A and B are shown apart, each in its own frame.
Chain A
Amino acid sequence: MHIRLIRSGGLLGVPRRAEADTAARPDGAALEKLAYEVLTAADGPSPSGPGVPDACHYTLTVDDQPPVEFTDPGLTDAQLRLVERVLGEGF
């Protein structure tokens, strides 16, 4: 599974991107489980509107599936764990 995660917004406003091939990672199985969980939960429409000031916006793309968007605050535990594993918390 190929995972691409983009963070935009935030107080700094500089985007950050990270990609992960689960086959090449020791935590690949756990990552795939998390990604499935986030994709499955995202069967509704993506959040609309500009969101709250300075919040982080995330765009997740798994393989060739349509991108899924989510935003802070209000991340689910699965979204947060995926963000932390793929992007890390810093730059």
Chain B
Amino acid sequence: MRPPRPVCGILPPFILEKLTEADNPHVREAAHNTLAVDADFRQNRIETPSLVSPAAPTEFVLDRTLYDTHHTLALPGDLVRREGGDPSLDGTVNRAYESLGLTFTLYKEAYARHSIDDANLPLDSTVHYRRRFNNAFWDGERMVFGDGDAVVFNDFTISVDIIGHELTHGVTQYTAGLVYQDQSGALNESISDVFGSLVKQYDRHQTADQADWLIGAGLFTPQVRGQALRSMREPGTGFDDPMLGGKDPQPSHMTHYVEGDADNGGVHINSGIPNHAFYLTAVAIGGFAWERAGRIWYETLTSGRLSENCDFQEFAQATRDTAERLYGTRLELESVVKAWSDVGLSVH
């Protein structure tokens, strides 16, 4: 007897339900099976962010384009270097170009991801934005870098992890779409710090215990009393200088979570908590952090199961579930559970 043909395609559920009452037992069985699959599919579709990438291509295409606004507001600016083109005479352009490539390579080699959107999105970046501008950001289409004022900040292309950080905002935009406000915003920030740091560690071929776990090391001028914007190993120890308004305010535990309206509800402040959880996980697992700890975070981010307003608790639980799915009840799972517990979040 031939196996029953699956009932699939575009049939709506009410027709499938009708088929479950058919006289032919093969039709009934197929309809039941299809309804089950269909329900899963519909549920996943509802839960999946609208910006989830299309099916990944097989080729990896790195396509970088650098622009220069010449210290104005006029984005994107003049084209100054294309993929494969000769290096520029401008070191800032070349640093951004190289770091874009490093970030692309980490996502490709460690996670088989095809650029930001997993569909080989070209990587555009603008340098020399505004005058002596102390910032870098992701505007939804490109990375934008300031030169720094040379009093507090150096050129923002100096830190490879900052470029990885900004590109990862793009990855988050195309996957979990975490809303940039309150705890989901702090997770958005933390994920950018995590993969920004992993780009640097990958470039330096450092294991978790060898890495500095600093975000933006080298960005401060020598006049500033500070080692970096943030420390994932010891949140709150990045800087302590009146020019920066005092001490690094990042907490490393939920008991010191900072409530407030500024900075979209403290997205750059409270990110210290999930940052530290990742650091603890990576060190407990050992080896290269982009391999197992990074994979757990990456698979969680790209699972399509996180809500856009995901809070720390939901994310923590999701990483625990991912660890179990990927590695079973082994060191990886224990490390994730203990790391979240150590920052004040209980997962089961």
Mark A residues whose CB is within 8 Å of B.
8-16, 50-56, 72-73, 75, 77, 80, 84, 88-91
Q: Please give, as numbers and ranges, the residues of chain B lying within 8 Å of A52 by CB-CB distance.
A: 137-140, 180
8 Å CB interface, B236-273 against A: 243-245, 249, 262-264, 266-269
- Whether B243 lies near A15 (C-beta < 8 A) is no
| Assembly CA distance A50 to B184 (angstroms) | 11
Tell me the smallest distance from the CB of A49 to a CB of chain B, in Å: 8
Secondary structure of the A side of the interface?
Answer: loop
Give the 7 A-B CB pairs with smallest separation, nearest first: A13-B268, A90-B149, A54-B137, A50-B180, A89-B132, A53-B169, A50-B181
Chain A CB within 8 A of B66 CB? no
- Whether A73 lies near B75 (C-beta < 8 A) is yes
- Whether B131 lies near A55 (C-beta < 8 A) is no
- Whether B135 lies near A56 (C-beta < 8 A) is yes
- Binary contact readout B106-133 vs A (1 if CB under 8 angstroms, 0 otherwise): 0000000000000000000000001111
Partner of B264, one of A14, A50, A75, A91: A50
- Whether B139 lies near A73 (C-beta < 8 A) is yes
| Assembly CA distance A8 to B269 (angstroms) | 12
- Whether A75 lies near B149 (C-beta < 8 A) is no
Q: Please give, as numbers and ranges, the residues of chain B lying within 8 Å of A13 by CB-CB distance.
A: 263, 266-269
Number of interface residues of B (CB under 8 A): 44
Chain A CB within 8 A of B134 CB? yes
- Whether A73 lies near B134 (C-beta < 8 A) is no
Secondary structure of the B side of the interface?
Answer: loop
- Binary contact readout B208-249 vs A (1 if CB under 8 angstroms, 0 otherwise): 000000001000000000000100000000000001110001
Q: Please give, as numbers and ranges, the residues of chain B lying within 8 Å of A9 by CB-CB distance.
A: 263-264, 268
Partner of B245, one of A15, A55, A73: A15
Chain A CB within 8 A of B188 CB? yes
Q: Please give, as numbers and ranges, the residues of chain A lying within 8 Å of B61 by CB-CB distance.
A: none
| Assembly CA distance A56 to B153 (angstroms) | 15
Partner of B136, one of A14, A15, A51, A54: A54
Partner of B73, one of A73, A88, A89, A91: A73
**Smallest CB-CB separation from B246: which chain A residue?**
A14
Q: Please give, as numbers and ranges, the residues of chain B lying within 8 Å of A89 by CB-CB distance.
A: 130-134, 149
Tell me the smallest distance from the CB of B14 to a CB of chain A, in Å: 39
**Smallest CB-CB separation from A8: which chain B residue?**
B262
